[in-house]
Structure formats: C-alpha cells, structure tokens
Amino acid sequence: MKFLDKYKGLKPSAKEMAAVAEYLWHKGWAERNAGNMSVRLGDMIVDPDVLKDAKQIPLDRAYPSLAGQFLLLSGSDTRMRNLAKKPAKNTCLIHIGEEGKDYRIFKDAASILPTSELPTHLAIHQQLIWDGRKEKALLHTHVNEVIALTQIAEYCSKDSIDNLLWGMHPETIMFIPDGIGFVPYTLPGTDEIAEKTLRALKGHRVIIWEKHGCLAVGEDLFECFDQIDILAKSANIFFTCRNAGFEAEGMTTEQLNEIKNINNANL
C-alpha cells in the first residue's frame, strides 16, 4: 500500500475500486483481465512536483480539459480478483500534463501501466467535464446476462432493449428512467467505439455495448456498479422466465408510466 499510504486522499478511491473489483469478480463478470475502471480525482491529490522526474508519456490526442488532473485507473492486464486484494499493486495513478497531451505515472506505482482503454476513459472524462456533469467515475464490465440479451437481434436497439429491461422489474425504470445508451457491435479498443460511446452517453449514465458488456458513469464507482447490477437483474429475470418455458410478460405502458409519474413528482 506504499503510494496509497503516502497520500491519504487516494485511499478512499482505491478502497472503493478494490470493493467494486471484488463485486465484479464474484458476479462472474471479470474473466481474465476483463473490465476496467477509473476515478477522476481532481488536481490536488498529490503535489505534482513529486512527478517532476517521471517520464512523460505522449497521448495520441490531446485532452485539454483534463490538463493537471489526477486519475486513478485499474492497471493494464490486471485481474479484478487481484485488484480486490491488493489495490496498490493493480491500480495506476496518473497525472495529465499541462496541455493534456501527455501523462506521467506516479513513480511508486510505475511498474503498472494504466488500462489499455485509457484513451476511451480520458475521452469520456473530458466529455463529462464539457457537459458540466457531476459523474467522476467510470466502470466497464462483461455482464453475462446483458451480453446474452444482445445475442438476440430483436433486442439490439435502444428502444427495444429499454422497453424489455424496464418491463422486467419496477426498479429498472425507477432508477434508470432515461433508459440505456446502446452501441451496436464495434471493435473494442478503437476510436470508433469511443466516439459511439460518447454519443450514447448523452442523456444516459449506463450503456450497453452489443455482444460485449456494459459501461456506466457515476459520482462514484458504487453508483456505476448499482446501475449495471439493475440491468443485470432485469436481464436475469427475462432469461429465468425463458428457461422456465415461458416468455416474460413485461409491464404494461400504463404501469411504466405510473412509475415515471411518481419519479417526476419526486424530482
């Protein structure tokens, strides 16, 4: 816990990351090195002077709105089951350079590189800032039931998957009233999936990547996890009914509207 112990401000985020990593592993959503997460910590977590000797690593594109920010990320090629036990050895603290064109890795943690999905994480964090949103955490994981659902062509669109998942359980529309952003199958780790994800994030906090998994943004990683868990619950109910030999009936439009109206009244 060397660098986590040295800078106390990091500990809550690292503990949160470890706790969520454990959930993902126990859910069976984190095979091998699957999944990644990040938390934007702001600009005061560590005195940037301690990084002055660290190597500057160039980024393929600039993220000017992230200049000077610290981010804690899951490490490249790490396992969630290991991150859960030893966050200091499986996470990476980075500091984005002054113009957002490069980053430095905090030296005590320099043996671990950030997740290979770093460009997608940075693009999303920058977009959240541009849009004035309060979310600072990002989680991507491979949710079995949701991936299975996107193996069924008729549910591979935003409207059809919203209606299906909302209809399985009242809490889905209660806690995810804006529905789900849907990204049709796209090669992982590419600029194309990052761009489609940024578009899908407009007005949404949780996204489904067809045949791949889920991505959520939240004020912290627990909030990200909860949103994904709600979708998993709904997808699970759909398949439980199907496995029992009948199709889930779903809720009626009137029943869904009734919950929407309660939600709106409480805003």
The one catalytic residue in 31, 98, 99, 117 is 117
CB atoms within 10 A of CB 220: 18
Nearest to 77 by CA among 116, 38, 121: 116
Q: How far, in Å, CA of 198 to CA of 194, rounded?
A: 6
- Report the chain's C-alpha Rg in angstroms: 19
Q: Under a CB-based contact definition with an 8 Å cutoff, are residues 220 and 137 in contact? A: yes
Nearest to 221 by CA among 85, 71, 81, 118: 71
171 is catalytic: no
Q: Under a CB-based contact definition with an 8 Å cutoff, are residues 130 and 65 in contact? A: yes
**Could you write out the DSSP letters of every residue in 183-236?**
E----TTSHHHHHHHHHHHTT-SEEEETTTEEEEEESSHHHHHHHHHHHHHHHH
Q: How far, in Å, CA of 128 to CA of 198, rounded?
A: 9
Phi, psi at 41, each rounded to 5°? -100, -10
10 Å CB burial of residue 19 (0-12, 13-18, 19+) is middle
Catalytic site positions:
117
